Chains A and B, each alone.
Chain A
Amino acid sequence: MTEAVLETRDLCKRFGALEVSKDVSISLRPGEIHAVIGPNGAGKSTLIKQICGAEKPDDGRIYLLGEDVTHLSVDARARAGLARTFQVSALAMEDTVLENAALGVVGASGKAFRFFRPVLKDTEVLSRVEAALERVGLADAAGKQTSELSHGQRRQLEVAIALTLAPKVFVMDEPMAGLGAEGSKTMTGFLDGLRHEAPILLVEHDMDAVFALADRISVLVYGSIIASGTVEEIRADPAVREAYLGDLS
């Protein structure tokens, strides 16, 4: 077995009496898409927050590229190669699409404390930004103010910013939400190719996309992983059918 790029070991987190993570252990191997699914309130968002550093787990450890990052801050994990997209878009709404994507390049370059040269005249920055926007299909909207984008376009911009970071791992929180059938298909095709650049931990509600993309699936219910395996194994798992997939039918 190749070593995991991202791994959580026995993560525990509680808010008062509510246990939102119970001994959650998942791993992400090179070149794979690992989907985390589960009903609303299963603790998916809190799990993502712990992996990205926005919430501290009460117990357990998180490893990124073999390094223990449990106590690193959000920004330190980003610098270590973890790129996330947000479920509710976190973008600079007054800025243009181009500027938002440029922020990713600036962050990744580690050279944010440059006070004089206009960043949008920096050809190296521009070429990387434009390449990323092109890949997600936002090249035409580059000059638009971000607040004018549709919900789906904001999703695409989220992914574009993650691309500009050239990360070692993607953590994506519902990248398909609000995309519509056509957009969803395009995004699915895009993520399918992306896994070879860096593996993806995918939290997603769109089951078609999950079954089409995932190499492995973990099912989170009430804070616990109740099953983990290939698409076929998960489809066949009786506990999963009862706890989760049953809800859908």
Chain B
Amino acid sequence: MTREGIVNALVLVCLVLVPGWAFYAGETFTITLATRVVILALAAVGLNIALGLGGLVSLGHAVFFGLGGYTMGILAYHVQAYEPLFEWPFLFEGTKSMPAIWLAAVVLSALTAFVIGLLCLRTSGAYFIMITLAFGQMFYFFSISWSAYGGEDGLSIYVRNGFPGLNTLDPIQFYGLCFCVLVVVLWFASRLNRSRFGLALNAARQSPERVEAVGLRPFHLRLTAFVISGAVTGLAGALFADLNRFVSPAMFSWQMSGEIMILVILGGVGRLYGPVVGAIVFVALEHVLGDLSDYWHIYLGLLLLTVVLFVRGGLIGAVTGRRAAHD
């Protein structure tokens, strides 16, 4: 087992043991924090597929996070308010079932990522960064101005949505569910990385002319990666909304996009568990520093500057001392 493998295993063990301890100790708040870690990690795993494998510096992933959130919010709101979402061609009252919500969130995010990707991937470099950021802002302002679903105030969903066979109102059960989703997605991401597609996408990041010369279109590879990436982040958004039982335009904000990216970088770009480590560190900092000072973002900013300027390969890189490899 490589050192990175050991670190990864330790991370997973932590994510089982800490909430397990919190459950027996009755520390509900710690369980909620752990749930936040797992969901943010999932969002960042999504971004890491575009950013780490594809080299696509998207500063607009809050679009998908927010879409996932609003998918949950809108579907559940209609049930809560007894107003059918639509009556034609058939009566649809919305849903409070997580699997249905997740499916809708993934499909909607993927479709949106396809359209945005189609436009943004015509460009590269700094243009790509600015355009993804701009599209994020478009969704943010749209959500503010769309008064039917709360506008600036957002939407509250009073009762958490259900999952067959589970009591999702119990924090530890909801945590377990989110953790399982993360593990499944991590497994999928590791398979993706080693698949034919992963190989080609990795190569397209490093040498697009080579990829063309073997008969593949870098554009198609990148667009596919962007769609998968957006779908995963959208799923995380639906879970995040369910954790808070609240969605608001803040999920679409550029700060959100920036935070998701920070999670990836803190842990290490292109490393399978980088986003997970990043999320643990981020939530821990938010919690610890947030208690110490109202201005904890200053310290976060200084830490981030240090990592960018001095630590190659993020925290996992600093611990394992090895560059990211995908085997």
Where the two chains meet, the residues of A that have a C-beta atom closer than 8 Å to any C-beta of B are 52, 54, 73-76, 78-79, 83-84, 86, 90-96, 99-100, 102-104, 106-108, 110-120, 122, 145, 161, 165
Contacts and interface: CB of A to CB of B under 8 A. Distances in A.
B226 to A, nearest CB: 14
Contacts of A113: 196-197, 224
Contacts, number: 118
Given A92-B207, A161-B210, 19 more contacts: A54-B209, A75-B211, A84-B213, A90-B213, A91-B210, A92-B206, A95-B203, A100-B203, A103-B200, A106-B199, A106-B200, A112-B216, A113-B197, A115-B195, A117-B196, A119-B199, A120-B194, A165-B214, A165-B215
B196 A114 contact: yes
Nearest to B323: A94
A52 B209 CA distance: 11
Interface of B: 191-192, 194-200, 202-203, 206-207, 209-217, 221, 224, 228, 323-327
Nearest to A98: B327
A161 B196 contact: no
A120 B214 contact: no
Contacts of B198: 115, 119
Contacts of B216: 75, 106-107, 112
A118 B195 contact: yes
Contacts of B324: 94
B197 A74 contact: no
B239 to A, nearest CB: 22
Contacts of B217: 73, 75
B195 A119 contact: yes
Nearest to B326: A95
Given A100-B203, A102-B199, A115-B191, A108 B214 contact: yes
Nearest to A93: B206
Closest 10 CB pairs of A and B: A107-B214, A78-B215, A79-B215, A92-B206, A118-B194, A74-B212, A92-B203, A90-B210, A114-B196, A107-B215
25 contacts: A54-B209, A74-B212, A74-B213, A75-B215, A78-B212, A78-B213, A79-B215, A84-B213, A92-B203, A94-B323, A99-B203, A103-B200, A103-B203, A103-B214, A106-B199, A106-B214, A107-B216, A110-B215, A111-B196, A112-B197, A112-B216, A113-B224, A114-B195, A115-B192, A119-B199
A112 B221 contact: yes
A107 B200 contact: yes
Contacts of A74: 209, 212-213
Tell me what chain B mostly uses at the interface: helix, strand, loop, or mixed: helix
A106 B192 CA distance: 15
Nearest to A104: B214
In the complex, which of the residues B192, B203, B215, B324 has the most CB atoms of chain A within 10 Å of its own CB atom? Answer: B215
In the complex, which of the residues B203, B213, B221, B224 has the most CB atoms of chain A within 10 Å of its own CB atom? Answer: B213
Nearest to A161: B214
Contacts of B191: 115-118
Nearest to A110: B215
A94 B324 CA distance: 9
Contacts of A118: 191, 194-195
Contact of A94 (B206, B209, B212): B206
B210 A115 contact: no
A23 to B, nearest CB: 27
A130 to B, nearest CB: 16
B206 A95 contact: yes
Contacts of B221: 112
Nearest to A74: B212
Contacts of B326: 95
In the complex, which of the residues B194, B203, B210, B214 has the most CB atoms of chain A within 10 Å of its own CB atom? Answer: B214
A94 B322 CA distance: 12
Contacts of B197: 112-115
Contacts of A94: 202, 206, 323-325
Contact of A120 (B202, B210, B327): B327
Contact of A112 (B196, B206, B212, B213): B196
Nearest to B195: A115
B215 A119 contact: no
A145 B206 CA distance: 13
A115 B193 CA distance: 8
In the complex, which of the residues A75, A93, A104, A165 has the most CB atoms of chain B within 10 Å of its own CB atom? Answer: A75
Contacts of A83: 213
Nearest to B207: A90
A216 B203 CA distance: 36
A119 to B, nearest CB: 5
A128 to B, nearest CB: 13
A21 to B, nearest CB: 20
Contact of B207 (A79, A91, A102): A91
A54 B210 CA distance: 12
Contacts of A102: 199
A90 B205 CA distance: 12
B211 A86 contact: no
A224 to B, nearest CB: 27
